[in-house]
């Protein structure tokens, strides 16, 4: 153990009697040991007194989290503990079907973009970046790019740890890619989405604005 380790153990009271006697002897004779002890003693006493109160939450703050916790804990976990062979086979079939559908989906998306006269949303506009939103307080946020003339209004959604945004002009959900992580300006917050609600009113409003 070096000086600091010995002194910390001395303050913590974890030294053996012999080690403790040795530290006491050093402290009585060495100025360096005394200075080290003072320094460690200071930061230790500060931490001991201050840390227990550091970041104390309010009752209101924690109470607000509880309903969501209770509701989520009732829902079944997405991770199954046991998956039998039938389920595994079905899962593989589903993945295979989804992979086969990828080219079709890409074609369909291209067609939609062409029909709305938008060649490529991320390339032609400054699209919003990933926005960290609390799933409790702000389920979604309206964001827009601050640079360039083409201000895009979009709704960012948090899907687990990832984010997607929905361009309300097209109604398309798009992943937030590294290319879209440019500067961003938050233009406002929407209320929590009502279950079953759609984006149609906003989409219509955006189309009206464009016209």
Partner 1 sequence: MDTKHDDPILNPLMTRIQRGDQTACTDLYDLYAPGVYRLAYSVLLHRQDAEDVVQEVFVYVFRNLKLYDPNRGQFRTWLYTITISRCRNARRRKMLPTVALSDLLLLGLEPHGPESENPETASLREDANRVLGQALKTLSSRLREAVALRYGQGLTYREMGEILNIPPKTAESRIRLAHEALRSAMQPNDIALLEEFLG
Binding site for partner 1 (CB under 8 A): 4-5, 8-9, 12, 14, 39-40, 42-44, 46-62, 65-66, 68-70, 72-73, 77, 129-138, 141, 161, 163, 178, 181, 184, 186, 189
The whole-angstrom separation of Cα 40 and Cα 141 is: 47
Distance in angstroms (rounded) separating the CA atoms of residues 123 and 118: 10
- Cβ 195 to partner 1 shortest distance, Å: 19
Between 59 and 210, name the residue whose CB sits nearer to partner 1.
59
CA 127 to CA 88: how far, in whole Å?
Answer: 39
Contact status, residue 131 vs residue 157, Cβ threshold 8 Å: no
Nearer CB in complex with partner 1: 8/27: 8
Pairing of strands 140-144, 154-159: antiparallel
CA–CA separation, 126 vs 145, rounded Å?
6
Q: Which is nearer to partner 1, 91 or 186 (CB)?
A: 186
**To the nearest whole angstrom, how small is the minimum distance from the Cβ of residue 23 to partner 1?**
14
CB 20 to partner 1: min, Å: 16
User: Can you tell me whether residue 150 is helix, strand or coil?
Assistant: coil
Q: How far is the CB of 5 from partner 1 (least distance, A)?
A: 6
């Amino acid at each position: 153990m070096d000086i600091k380790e010995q002194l910390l153990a001395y303050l913590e009271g974890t030294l053996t009697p012999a080690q403790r006697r040795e530290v006491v002897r050093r402290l009585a004779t060495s100025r360096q040991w005394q200075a080290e002890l003072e320094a460690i003693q200071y930061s230790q006493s500060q931490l001991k007194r201050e840390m227990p109160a550091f970041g104390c939450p309010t009752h209101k703050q924690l109470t607000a989290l509880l309903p969501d916790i209770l509701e989520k804990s009732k829902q079944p976990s997405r991770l199954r503990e046991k998956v039998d062979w039938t389920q595994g086979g079905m899962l593989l079939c589903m993945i295979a079907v989804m992979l086969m559908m990828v080219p079709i989906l890409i074609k369909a998306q291209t067609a939609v973009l062409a029909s709305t006269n938008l060649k490529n949303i991320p390339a032609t506009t400054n699209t919003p970046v990933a926005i960290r939103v609390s799933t409790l307080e702000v389920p979604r946020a309206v964001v827009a790019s601050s640079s360039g003339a083409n201000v895009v209004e979009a709704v960012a959604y948090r899907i687990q740890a990832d984010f997607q945004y929905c361009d309300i002009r097209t109604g398309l959900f798009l992943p937030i890619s590294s290319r879209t992580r440019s500067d961003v300006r938050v233009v406002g917050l929407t209320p929590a989405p009502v279950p079953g609600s759609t984006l149609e009113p906003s989409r219509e409003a955006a189309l009206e604005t464009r016209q």
